Structure 1
Amino acid sequence: MSINFKEILTATMVLFAVIDVIGNIPIIIDLRAKFGKIQSEKASIIAGIIMVAFLYLGKSILNLIGIDVNSFAVAGAFILFFIALEMILGVSLYKEEETNARTISVFPLAFPLIAGPGSLTTLLSLRAEFDTINILIAIIINMFFMYIVLKSSNKLANFIGENGILIIRKVFGVILLAIAVKLFTSNIQGLIS
């Protein structure tokens, strides 16, 4: 295990694209308008704990049910592919569930908005390629950035503007699509051989 700045940067960018912090600003603003105060610290910490736990225990859980990391990474590539399509095409492929005002910081913010199926799948996919310490640092960087965004979501939305958010979301969608293709091609070879 060694700290590699290139791996940290790549893992940070991948998680940033999957979590879609900027693209989620409209959802965060909508939740804030409906339920009032959002506990930014609580949401960021719980999401971070979920992601770190899955980073370390996810492989054991998969082994317990008889799935290898390459298979999970290929499945994750499909999830990332569909998340990217949602971002690029502006369509919704999944149904959003009802929200409770008391649990808003945990659900849907911490899970599944921040630490959702896409980010958890991505963590295991990244673990197949990068050192765990570098992914851990990337998680911390993303949770710090998420905290800042949650704290200042209204100011950011006004500054970036509706068109700016749309453009950023589509750019990160294309990046995520490329990452999905790379994850698929690199892990499908491991499954075939």
Structure 2
Amino acid sequence: MELSLKEIFTAFMVLFAVIDIIGNIPIIIDLRKKVGHIQSEKASIIAGIIMIIFLFVGKSLLNLIGIDVNSFAVAGAFVIFFIALEMVLGITLYKDDEHSAVTASVFPLAFPLMAGPGSLTTLLSLRAEFAIENIIVAVICNVIVIYIVLKTSSKIENIIGTNGINIIRKIFGVILLAIAVKLFAHNIKELLA
């Protein structure tokens, strides 16, 4: 077992950008207004569990249904690309259904907002490049950040303000676009080889 701070930090930043918990603050606040209370602990833990389980069984699961990691990563690159476009252009491509207070902490908060196609694809891509223990540490660090943000979302909104959140969202959007392009280019090369 070899923990590398560089790998942990890189994996953390990539996941942090994909999960976009800061950019999701407006969605979290909106959800809180609709359903009343959000169980921050439950949402964070479930998102973490989904990500860690997928890190271990994701590849086998894909093999079971006859999809290779590169194809999944290319599909994920498109998902990340569209998420990034939403963030940069301030448009909504993905429309969600109505939610109840009971399910809001799990769906859409834990899945697919935090542990969604983008983060799951990113985990598989990271697994190809980094040691698994470093990715797990990065996931746990992200879960802690998610929990803190969920607990303090209304305070963060008051401090940063709507414009601040929008600026952060656009910056992370551009980072995500770059990640999507890199992910696509790397995996399409593997597929065509």
Is TM-score (shorter-chain normalized) higher than 0.5?
Answer: yes
Unaligned runs of 5+ in 1: none
Matched with 2:21 is 21
Residues 46 and 110 of structure 1 are in contact (CA less than 8 Å); yes or no, is this contact kept in structure 2? yes
Aligned length: 193
Quote the Cα distance in structure 1 between the aligned partners of 2:31 and 2:2.
Answer: 40
Aligned-residue identity in percent: 73
| Deviations 1:89-132, CA, capped at 9 Å, x for gaps | 01111111110111111111111111111111111121122221
Matched with 2:158 is 158
Matched with 2:72 is 72
- Listed as ranges, the matches of 1:24-173 within 5 Å are 24-173=24-173
Quote the Cα distance in structure 2 between the aligned partners of 1:13 and 1:155.
Answer: 23
Which letter maps to 1:138?
A
Which letter maps to 2:9?
L
Quote the Cα distance in structure 1 between the aligned partners of 2:45 and 2:187.
Answer: 31
Residues 35 and 99 of structure 2 are in contact (CA less than 8 Å); yes or no, is this contact kept in structure 1? no
Quote the Cα distance in structure 1 between the aligned partners of 2:72 and 2:37.
Answer: 37
Quote the Cα distance in structure 2 between the aligned partners of 1:21 and 1:178.
Answer: 18
| Deviations 1:172-192, CA, capped at 9 Å, x for gaps | 000000111111122222212
Residues 3 and 133 of structure 1 are in contact (CA less than 8 Å); yes or no, is this contact kept in structure 2? yes
Q: CA deviation at 1:26?
A: 0.9
Quote the Cα distance in structure 2 between the aligned partners of 1:74 and 1:31.
Answer: 31
Q: TM-score, normalised by structure 1?
A: 0.96
Quote the Cα distance in structure 2 between the aligned partners of 1:188 and 1:9.
Answer: 26
What SS does structure 2 have at the residue aligned with 1:21?
coil
Residues 32 and 38 of structure 2 are in contact (CA less than 8 Å); yes or no, is this contact kept in structure 1? yes
Distance 1:186 1:2, change over 3 A: farther
Q: CA deviation at 1:2?
A: 2.5
Q: List structure 1 segments (4+ residues) > 4 angstroms apart after TM superposition.
A: none
Unaligned runs of 5+ in 2: none
Q: CA deviation at 1:161?
A: 0.4
Q: TM-score, normalised by structure 2?
A: 0.96
